[in-house]
Structure 1
């Protein structure tokens, strides 16, 4: 079996999460798939996969090869298409991840518009409030909110969001409006568990960092639940500006302490394939970058 075929088999095993599933996807026998991966490991003198009775897990070497291998296979396909004079039309299946509410408010509408323009592309999403390993979970594109760690992923900055304190007008009428971050000690705070098990909110006061640690009777693990309680006037919380934007626009929420906001949080579109991305990924990334850069929700710094 040639080296490219071995690489193709390995990538498919990693993406499918098992030898039997990869064999079905490649129309090969399971023993042939096993032999191909074993031959690749022997030639590289490196263990790429850890096999158990139920799962297949990538080693560190395997994760690096998966990233590079996808790029190599994509480059080969593109080179062959160019040699044949084939026009690169976006086609195939896209897998996209983003934070839950950002996916709902921003990514899903943009994805719908993209699919409307590209009939040969299908897509699925993973909208969750955790950092997803793009390589291990076989994803094509991710929207990341926050500083990015060093990685092999290609990243394009598209804007930023702010951390804001907000509540319902009815709450502020009943309990008063905080004029300084230190006033939060006297308020009913809802703690987002995504940022820790206690309220520890950072602000900027006269150019200096200010950390407010305060008690909270209620910690919630979903932003939807926090927003619902805020709308009902139960208390106030600190979320990202895009999360409260619909409520603010409707008059159901208002932000406070805006003069003390910490620096904005960057937003990036990331993908693992670099310059030689497939046509579907390249087209979607270009489309998404343009959409996000024009979206006012990523430029609300005031």
Structure 2
């Protein structure tokens, strides 16, 4: 019996809550997973899991063994990384994930520069508006937008973004600008299922006061990406509700105009997140050192673009 493999199977079964879920994650037949756990229990001469039709429950011995397995596999992983030089030289593979538009606009250029600076590092970039789990998926570095749950993850803030309402100057010339969120009932809306928008849009009550209010909208057009919603708004279809960095350039260029700024909800933090471990491969540390100041500068530039665009628009009125 490969004890390290059996330990890994045992941890995955507990974390996923069932043998079938663990089998899917491990890409291993269900009977094989069940057999591995049974062999482990026979080897230990102890019952680790109590199986029922609804759930798995750790026995007292199983809980103690689970904690020991995690510690052992962590130590083995650290030893392997140390032996391979990951703690001494920035090299090896990394998996990085970020929201789709943010990753394309801001993170990808940083990664391009990072790869030129560190030729022995290879990066797999996953752009997705669904947050991937740093441990289960697995992912080395994640870019997160919004409040972070309490966890063992380590987060480094890089700035903030906010939700904004915008439309094209041509659209507003024809129908006028909304004066309050409730006025959206008289406007064509472009919605998308994503990070910051959908069938209900969030606004601050009055001048940023709490609590926020939810305004239901009836979309004239519904799409599944922020880029499509922004393109439709630029074309004059209606107003859309997106994140500030997604439209900063369009506002600066005059293609879109921001409205109802006094009703924008609180800005959301943007963070670079990684797993909290006692020892971090140097490639992780170098990537964080490299990307954090550059992403902070990019978000500051976005805010400047929004201010420039609004000022230029006001000067034309």
Matches within 5 A, 1:19-34: none
Q: Cα gap change, 1:135/1:42 in structure 2, threshold over 3 Å: closer, same or farther?
A: farther
5 Å matches for 1:129-144? 129-144=129-144
Q: Which residues of structure 2 form unaligned runs of 5+?
A: 13-21, 50-57, 308-317
Deviations 1:228-255 (CA, angstroms, capped at 9, x unpaired): 1011010111101011112112221121
Distance 2:24 2:287 in 1: 20
SS in 1 for 2:129: coil
Aligned to 2:96: 96
Whose Rg is larger?
2
CA pair 38-240 structure 1, distance change in 2 beyond 3 A: farther
Whole-angstrom CA distance in 1 between matches of 2:288 and 2:24: 21
Could you tell me how far apart the structure 2 residues matched to 1:40 and 1:277 are? 33
CA contact (8 A) 1:163 1:262 kept: yes
| Selected match of 2:252 from 249, 259, 269 | 249
TM-score by length of 2: 0.72
Deviation string for 1:56-82 (max 9, x for gaps)?
xxx9x8998998667434433466689
Q: Is the 8 A contact 1:11 1:70 kept in 2?
A: no
For 1:166, what is the secondary structure of its paired residue? strand
Aligned-CA RMSD value: 3.8
Determine the C-alpha separation between the residues in 1 that align with 2:42 and 2:136. 19
Map of 2:156 onto structure 1? 156
Name the structure 2 match of 1:165.
165
Change (3 A) 1:40 1:252: farther
5+ residue gaps, structure 1: 21-30, 48-58
Distance 1:104 1:14, change over 3 A: farther
Distance 1:217 1:275, change over 3 A: same
* Distance across 1 between alignment mates of 2:130 and 2:66: 20
Q: TM-score, normalised by structure 1?
A: 0.75
Structure 2: distance between partners of 1:271 and 1:254:
36
Provide the rounded CA distance (Å) in 2 between the counterparts of 1:159 and 1:108.
17
2:105 alignment counterpart: 105
For the 8 Å contact 1:14–1:66, the answer to whether it is kept is no
**1:75 matched residue in structure 2:** 78
